[in-house]
Amino acid sequence: MSDVSANLELPYLAPAQAQKHVTHNEALQIIDAVVQLSVESRILSEPSGTVDAGTCFVVPELATGVWMGQDNKIALWNGTGWIFLTAKEGWRAWVIAEGLEVVMTSGAWMTAEGQGASETFGINTTADVVNRLSVAADATLLSHDGGGHQLKVNKASSGDTGSLLYQSNWSGRAEMGLAGNDEFSIKVSDDGSIWTEALRFDGADGLASGAAVTQGPTDTLGGRLIRNGDGYVKSTVVGTVSESGGVPTGAIIESGSNANGDYVRFADGSQICTATLTLGYSGAVRLSGTWTYPVPFASEANVTGIVDLADLNVNATPGPDEVGSVMLGSNNATSAVFWLYRLSGMTNFTSADTCEVKVHSRGRWF
């Protein structure tokens, strides 16, 4: 028969043993230590300082000094010396220094949290095999244990789902996360059955798509967010206008000038050109000039010319009261011809005569 008990290794009293109280008291010391077992530390490699009787420690691996060779045992100070107890599988101990429980597992002390002893956990409600962690409360607080805090939702592969699902009376109404792919999306539903992808953000460039944003420059559905390129921002109000299939694709307003005059183009296709044109001698009865527009029109434009007779340079030839109005001789998509005639029976023009005319054309550039 063994001299100690099978589980706690309590020393037995031997027949005819002298000083039986010594053996009995040692057994009581062991019971006092391991029942409701609490240890000061599990990381000290050897004892230090003054230790009160009844204090226990978990001896770590590679311990030194008087604890050498006692790895993973419980070291009990009985007031005069160390008693080392071998923990059995499943023994539990509260570690005072860390404020956590450890369990003897396969010859080593493991934190109780790491054992996965509970497959489900419910707080104020019942958990199940799908909702293994369930909480029924007015609010759930996840706070930092330092500078920050992350809530992590992990999935096994790209085709799986890692998301947050928002329900109304247990029927889904909104979902956000990685739903069936690796791009972040927000989905909504009004019945929990048919879902609309409102927003999706491309993982490579972060650009947005989905029902909540415009689908192109011709999309006029109310409530959508306008994508850059479908609408206008400050940087595209003034710039180069353009179109595709009659739909504006560039800026709202374009303006410019060159040797032929000034122009303004609008996103709706409107175009205005202006210039000062000098008419020159083209015969005894007429001054004429051709205006090439600073930019072409899509077709024949509406063209006008106004003469300030004070600009008439006639050098002893017809005076302001001897000429008529500026006339449009001809025009097309790229130019216009203007004429100024002397009145019938008045003095003829000479080769030195000129006149400046304010010319204006209006039409469409597409």
Interval 110-119: pLDDT, tens? 887 654 445 6
Strand partners, 289: 338
Burial class of residue 211 (count of CB atoms within 10 Å of its CB; 0-12, 13-18, 19+): middle
The pairing of strands 38-39 and 92-95 is: parallel
- Termini Cα distance of the chain: 110
Q: 269 CB contacts (<8 Å, ≥6 apart)?
A: 243, 246, 298, 364, 365, 366
Q: Write down the pLDDT at residue 110.
A: 87
- Tens digit of pLDDT at every position of the chain (366 positions): 466 554 555 555 566 556 655 555 565 566 655 667 889 999 999 998 889 988 999 999 899 999 999 999 999 898 889 989 888 898 899 999 988 889 998 888 888 765 444 567 788 988 887 888 899 999 999 999 999 999 999 999 999 999 999 999 999 999 999 999 999 999 999 999 999 999 999 999 999 999 999 998 888 888 999 888 787 778 889 999 999 988 888 899 999 999 999 999 999 999 999 999 999 999 999 999 999 999 999 999 899 888 766 666 644 477 777 888 889 999 999 999 999 998 988 889 999 888 889 999 999 999
Residue 26 · residue 48 · CB < 8 Å: no
- The CATH class given to the 256-364 domain equals mainly beta
Question: What are the residue ranges spanned by the domains of the chain?
Answer: 20-114, 157-231, 256-364
